[in-house]
Amino acid sequence: MVRNFLLEDSRYWPQDLRNELQEVTENDTELKKEVAIHAMTNNTTDYLMNYFSDWTKLLRATACLIRFKFYCRQRYLNHQVQCRTGDLTLSELKIATNVILVNVQSTCFKDEIIKLKKDTPVKKDSRIASLNPVLDNELIRAKGRLSTSNLDEYPIILPDNHYVTSLIVRFYHENQGHVGRQQVLASTRMKYWIYKRT
């Protein structure tokens, strides 16, 4: 219950109450500092990767987000563009795939990416050193013994214990008609090299 004198100016407060109020100093033991902590991830791709349980849905959502980001950026730069709607194009899906995979690799292979960006070989004790990794459009690929082959693209290196890797393996498993483990591994190896940690 609010006392009426509190609504008035302090000079009209009762004398005994004014004597009790004292100036608060910084050294006062009753004064406690308040610490506010707010943790926020600024990476939308991380959020999306953990939100979806299907590779295709993750891929399409990321592509839509990239499309919207492009539209917002163009509008910000005062370019008159129409917001593209409808089906996603193959190039949009490829860009979304690269964004997701670059994000996965940047969380799992930080040191290796730093070395490869400097055009220096990865450390001998690196988890992926035996794969002879190369950096191609921000993606780490396994050159390995395939350097003498006529393959157009080397497989993209992915860690076996990452959530996105499990989504990709499940996608291949379902698209191949729920075949066995060896068939799924063979079909994924055409595009991805899933590195198993020892």
Work out how many domains the chain is built from and give that number. Answer: 1
Mean pLDDT of the chain: 81
CA distance 176 to 184: 7
Helix axes of 181-188 and 163-175: crossing angle, nearest 10 degrees: 110
pLDDT at 96: 94
**Amino acid identity for residue 3 in this structure:** R
> Between helices 44-51 and 163-175, what is the axis angle to 10°?
50
Query: Is 3 inside a domain boundary?
Result: no
pTM beyond 0.85: no
The answer to whether residue 150 scores a pLDDT higher than 60 is no
86: containing domain: 45-195
- Asked whether residue 8 is assigned to any structural domain, the reply reads no
Decide if 162 is inside a domain.
yes
Whether residue 20 is contained in a domain is answered as no
Instruction: Look at residue 18 and tell me if it is in a domain.
Output: no
Tell me whether residue 23 is in a domain.
no
**Span 102-136, pLDDT tens digits:** 999 998 899 999 999 998 888 888 888 888 898 88
Within a domain: residue 9? no
Residue in 88, 20, 26 with CA at minimum distance from that of residue 57: 88
Residues 12-24: tens digit of each pLDDT: 777 666 555 566 6
* Domain-located, residue 61: yes
